[in-house]
Amino acid sequence: MFAYAGPNLPHDLFEATGRNAGPLTWNIDRAMPAADRWLESKFAPWTRSTLQDWADGALDHLEAVVFSRADDSAQRLYYYLCELRRAGSIRGPEPLVLDIAKSPRESSIARDEVALRKLAERFGVDEAALSVAILAGNEKRAASTIEPLGEKVCLIAGSPLPDARMHRMVARSGWSAVGRTLADEWQDAGNLVDEDGDSFAALARQLHARRLDTRGFFDRSGALTDVARNSGANAAILWLIEEDDTTVWHLPAMRTALEAQGLPVMVATRRDWSCADGIDTEIAAFLAGVAS
């Protein structure tokens, strides 16, 4: 079995292997001496948990972990793990990287296709198996539904959330929360994959076009406006963690776009991913202010 870490990954290909153990999970509410020893401060917090698990042998049951090149922390962690294994400092599964190119250029799409074929070869997946998995994946995509929300909806955007803890903070104020967790991002299989023609080429085009990662080329404030509108948001929280170095560049435009929609916006930057920095009190005060 293998697991994966990062966004913008080929879930149809993973399913075709029959050995997909799903995404890595994290526990950041603990001491992590191995992470302190080898990781610098600006790495995404989940990487600390992963490195600690790796060093502790908690991932030894896996044969491999696939890291996404579409996320900077994920790809750097891949190199660190390779080196630490080479040096004998840790053991554990084989780190693999899927080289996702995102530039709006044909050569990048071709690069993605080559990367997919290489990974498929590593896992023994041929074109026929991938084609079957794409059909099954598309059926799931078509069947997915959106949970109904309450009357008062608060959109949480910015950095991916660690889990549902901020949703619960919002719920304590009598609101429904909409906001994607990191697990949501990683498990997002994306839009329908073209079922005609070469399966690897189709999957490469789908991966290249996806918008959920840190390296995609798209209008982030426009996309956020769409999410706010589609979710019927009545208020928004733009929440960015200290380690975020992507969405920070779009914060002014995102704030302007949401406010232009008439939404009250709370901006919280340089925050703690564990949410143990008083954000619960700030959210309660913000939503109380909106309600009044």
Partner 1 sequence: MSAEPTTKTSGQRSRKDLACTAAASAYQKQFGADLKRRVVDEGEPFAIVQADTPHEIFHVMGIPIITNQWWSAYISAKQLSNHYFEVMAQAGYPKNSCKYCSLGLACTLANDPKTAPWGGLPKPTVLVARMTCDCIQHVFGQWADALGSEFFPMEAPAWEHKDPRWFAHSKDQWEQVYDADRIALAVSEMRDLITLLENRTGRKFDEAKLHYLMERINEQEGYIWEAAQAIGTARPCPVSIAEQMPNTMIPQWHRGSDWAVGHARRFRDEVMERIAAGEGSATNEKIRLMWIGAGVWHDPGFYQALEERMGAVFVWSMYMPFAGPQYIREVQGRPMEALASRICSMNEVLHLPPWMNGWMTSEAERCGIDACVVLLPPENRLSQSGTKITAEALEKAGVPVLMIDADMVDAANWDHDRMVGMVAEFLQKRGLA
Instruction: Specify the residue, 219 or 226, whose C-beta has the smaller distance to partner 1.
Output: 219
* Among the listed residues 56, 94, 99, 282, the single contact to partner 1 using CB under 8 A: 99
Q: CA-based Rg of the chain, rounded to a whole angstrom?
A: 20
Q: Tell me how far, at minimum, the Cβ of 271 lies from partner 1, in Å.
A: 10
Q: Tell me how far, at minimum, the Cβ of 166 lies from partner 1, in Å.
A: 18
Q: Tell me how far, at minimum, the Cβ of 26 lies from partner 1, in Å.
A: 18
Report the amino acid identity of residue 253.
A
Is residue 117 close enough to count as binding partner 1 by CB under 8 A?
no
Dist. CA 38–CA 41, nearest whole Å: 10
Beta strands 64-68 and 94-98, pairing class: parallel
* Binding flags for partner 1, 201-230, as an x/- string (CB under 8 A): -------------xx-x-------------
Instruction: Specify the residue, 167 or 250, whose C-beta has the smaller distance to partner 1.
Output: 250
| Residues 6 or more apart whose Cβ sits within 8 Å of residue 58 | none
Dist. CA 31–CA 47, nearest whole Å: 14
CA–CA distances in Å: residue 268 to residues 2, 108, 149, 209, 279: 36, 35, 24, 30, 8
DSSP character for 247? Answer: G
Instruction: Specify the residue, 11 or 220, whose C-beta has the smaller distance to partner 1.
Output: 220
* Binding flags for partner 1, 55-94, as an x/- string (CB under 8 A): --------------x-xxx-xx-xxx-xxx-x--------
* Among the listed residues 61, 91, 105, 140, the single contact to partner 1 using CB under 8 A: 105
CA–CA distances in Å: residue 259 to residues 47, 192, 266: 34, 32, 10
Is residue 251 close enough to count as binding partner 1 by CB under 8 A?
yes
CA–CA distances in Å: residue 15 to residues 21, 66, 131, 133: 10, 13, 11, 6
Give 67-94 as a 3 state SS string: EECCCHHHHHHHHHHHHHHHCCCCCCCE
Question: Beta-carbon neighbour count of residue 240 at 10 Å?
Answer: 21
- Site residues (CB under 8 A) for partner 1, limited to 167-206: none
Q: Tell me how far, at minimum, the Cβ of 140 lies from partner 1, in Å.
A: 28
Q: How many residues bind partner 1 (CB under 8 A)?
A: 49
Dist. CA 62–CA 71, nearest whole Å: 22
Instruction: Tell the residue number behind the tokens 């109904």, with chain if given.
Output: 148
Dist. CA 87–CA 138, nearest whole Å: 43
Instruction: Specify the residue, 175 or 286, whose C-beta has the smaller distance to partner 1.
Output: 286
Instruction: Specify the residue, 104 or 150, whose C-beta has the smaller distance to partner 1.
Output: 104
- Options 52-60, 101-109, 136-144, 182-190: segment touching partner 1 (CB under 8 A): 101-109
Is residue 242 close enough to count as binding partner 1 by CB under 8 A?
yes
Binding site for partner 1 (CB under 8 A): 37-43, 69, 71-73, 75-76, 78-80, 82-84, 86, 97-99, 101-105, 107-108, 111, 114-115, 214-215, 217, 240, 242-243, 245-246, 248-252, 255, 269-270
